[in-house]
Amino acid sequence: MSSSENRPSVTVEETPAAAAPAAEIQGGTQDLNDSSLYIHRELSQLQFNIRVLDQALDERKPILERLKFLLIFSSNLDEFFEIRVAGLKSQIAFDHEIVGPDAIAPRRALTEISEIAHKQIERQYTILNEHVLPELSRHGIRIVRRNEWSHKQKLWVRRYFRHEVAPLVTPIGLDPTHPFPLLVNKSLNFIVQLEGVDAFGRDSGLAVVPAPRVLPRLIRLPDEVCEGGENFVLLSSIIHAHTEELFPGMSVRGCYQFRLTRNADLTIDPEDVEDLARALRGELYSRRFGDAVRLEVADNCPKELTDYLLKQFGLTAAEMYEVNGPVNLTRLMGLANKSHAPQLLYPPFTPAIPKALKKEEDLFQVVGKQDVLLLHPFESFMPVVDLLHQAAKDPNVLAIKQTLYRSGANSEIVDALVDAARAGKEVTVVVELRARFDEESNLTLASRLQQAGAMVIYGVVGVKTHAKLMLIQRREGDELVRYAHLGTGNYHTGNARLYTDYSLLTSDQALCEDVHKLFSQLTGMGKVLRMKKLLHAPFTLKKTLLELIARETAHAQAGRAAQIIAKVNALTDPKVIRALYKASMAGVKIDLIVRGMCCLRPGVPGVSHNIRVRSIVDRFLEHSRAYWFANNGDEELFLASADLMERNLDRRVETGFPIESKKLQQRVKKELELYLADNSSASLLHADGHYHRLSPGGQTVRNAQAQLLERICGVGANPVE
């Protein structure tokens, strides 16, 4: 929980975690496989989600932004259950339990997850009902509950129900000819208790009402039936208030909303796949109806009904979550998006454009002379898009190659690739169809590119293509010159405004040649090609990172300057963790900025006493990956698409690329140091697995993202885009 004197308190019990290990070295040796040195990855992921929820209590943030954090917690938790919890349950069901370095078996992990999740979800609704909604109401933004509707509002809601809702609702009576329906993952539903006999003599007493998925969950009341401000009603309230109209002649004894979360992971056996796109289309349908993993119900639902629902879904009481409010909280995100109160949101800003790019319209001229490094969203992503658009129109550009992981089917990036293909250029796009929850969008954009004449490759079956690469080949005189973009984030212009990521635009001959070789490996077949500068998983990235850590270890052992700074989204790979432990034991000072999962325990005496781990959760999602090594004064820096996870380093196509300019190296290091000095949005990880939110106290407030906005964008000085 965030620690701030001005922040309202919500009582939270301590979440269970292993005690901090006392791993003092005996005789100069230490077993680095000791399970007490590792944190369970799923429990660590849950801790990250708690840090997100903490932001909803931070009164320094605008109230609609606090609401967003509270709802992002819901969205994150949905995915956590759909993927992480579902995965653990599948291991148990198939008797294939995997125990990691932490030695926590899936059954124990599920027990701890359930205990933590129940407390945090209860806390979430307390924050919503006691802090966020009252504060919104004070600013004239209200969700009007059924018992608060005025006579005018009741009349308007009734008309809305009869004209917009009732025609689309399909109530389902439960009897031997109408068994319990197969409900879509995360859909809003109602279990209804009925009394009476219908026209056919049926009197089962139960029915299910699925809420129409095509209708908005949040409806704004017209101003003429309200007394100022922005007033909303929930679709669930509208249906609840008019349930009897769905069962004419019957008496409704109770109506209670519920929502089911299902296993949403896709399972495709590479050995059985002949056409990946066709296989994925089939799996996308089945995702909506996977095995049940969680039941959310209104907290006033009678026990006989919750027991009935649990039995229908094959769930236990520990997998049921009773909530004091809407079961589908994520749908409230429209409240912030529909609001006409910009003062209740973060102030807008204009991403900066580097001076070198402002002076010259021809991007090839600029990148041909120097590397350009961009830090999004503080610096605009548009130079990347503009370079691609310029390439599409330039008659001297002969070929474009690009990877797409998440971009959106109708993005400007895809538009430019379509234009290039239609202009007769050789366009090759490696589309990763298995980007989780973006599979359908990627199938659509793949079809669009193919129709325009682009060559679309679906990467390598069994190994996701997660690298962010673009290569442009241009004829300049008698030479064929290559230009490349390498990034830590996706080619998604929307995400580039919300995620922190680095982009490198370069014409470095060796690096561009490496990018060309990697595309050749992805589209063709052959042995691993030797790269001069580019690190690439699953072949050289992990090996090289381990070597660089070992080199710092050797420097420290020899009494030379040794330090490591790494910024990643997750750290779970046991080999990397052991290497960092060895480096710490040798005296290497290690600072890790890990947004999400971290399985390493810092601060363990004699093992990780030289390692500090901090997590930054703030306005923008921290997404950039950077690896900096002191190397006895000859500093080295790599930016990467990969986190320090086994899946990234061993089972994905990823890239790490060097930043060789000393000026750019120092720039990135200074940016990393801002994060290390942050005392406002940072939480420190302790050896016991808990995070402690930092507070400035009497010190100067240091907020890395705010400082970057001020330094790079001059917040408040630029007009809004």
The string of DSSP letters for 81-146 reads IIIIIHHHHHHHHTT-----TT---HHHHHHHHHHHHHHHHHHHHHHIIIIIHHHHHHTTEEE--G
* Annotated binding-site residue? 406: yes
Asked if 357 and 366 touch (Cβ cutoff 8 Å), the reply is yes
CA-based nearest residue to 17, from 694, 594, 692: 692
User: How far is residue 53's CA from residue 188's CA, in Å, rounded to a whole number?
Assistant: 23
Looking at domain 159-343, its CATH class is: alpha beta
CA-based nearest residue to 103, from 43, 42, 47, 38: 38
pLDDT at residue number 340? 76
pLDDT at residue number 11? 36
Series of mean pLDDT values for 10-residue runs along the chain (721 residues)? 37 40 49 95 96 96 96 95 92 89 96 97 98 96 95 97 96 81 92 82 84 93 94 96 92 95 67 45 52 95 96 96 94 81 91 89 93 97 96 96 80 92 93 64 80 85 88 95 96 91 97 96 85 96 98 97 97 98 98 98 97 98 97 97 95 96 97 97 96 92 96 62 33
pLDDT at residue number 721? 33
| Contacts for 275 with CB less than 8 Å, ≥ 6 apart | none
Tell me the pairing of strands 652-658 and 464-465. Answer: parallel
Domain covering 355-529 assigned CATH 3.40.50.1580 in the classification: no
- Identical fold for domains 355-529 and 536-713, yes or no, is yes
Asked if 327 and 297 touch (Cβ cutoff 8 Å), the reply is yes
**pTM for the full predicted model:** 0.90
pLDDT at residue number 428? 94
pLDDT at residue number 268? 45
DSSP letter assigned to residue 164: I
* Annotated binding-site residue? 516: no
pLDDT at residue number 94? 85
* Annotated binding-site residue? 158: no
Q: Would you name the residues annotated as active-site residues?
A: 466
User: How far is residue 642's CA from residue 624's CA, in Å, rounded to a whole number?
Assistant: 9
> Length of the chain, please?
721
CATH T-level assignment (fold) for domain 40-135: Methane Monooxygenase Hydroxylase; Chain G, domain 1 (1.20.58)
Q: Which residues of 538-549 are buried (b: 16+ CB within 10 A; e: fewer)?
A: bbbbbebbbebb
* Annotated binding-site residue? 76: yes
* Annotated binding-site residue? 686: no
Provide the residue ranges of all domains of the chain, joining segments of one domain with +: 40-135, 159-343, 355-529, 536-713
Q: Which residues on neighbouring strands pair with residue 200, listed in sequence order?
A: none
DSSP letter assigned to residue 581: H
User: How far is residue 12's CA from residue 9's CA, in Å, rounded to a whole number?
Assistant: 9
* Annotated binding-site residue? 281: no
Three-state secondary-structure class, residue 687: coil
H/E stretch holding 563 reads: strand 563-568
CATH T-level assignment (fold) for domain 536-713: Endonuclease; Chain A (3.30.870)
Residue 635: other Cβ atoms inside 10 A: 16
Q: How far is CA 18 from each of CA 22, 109, 611, 682, rounded to the nearest angstrom?
A: 12, 12, 19, 22
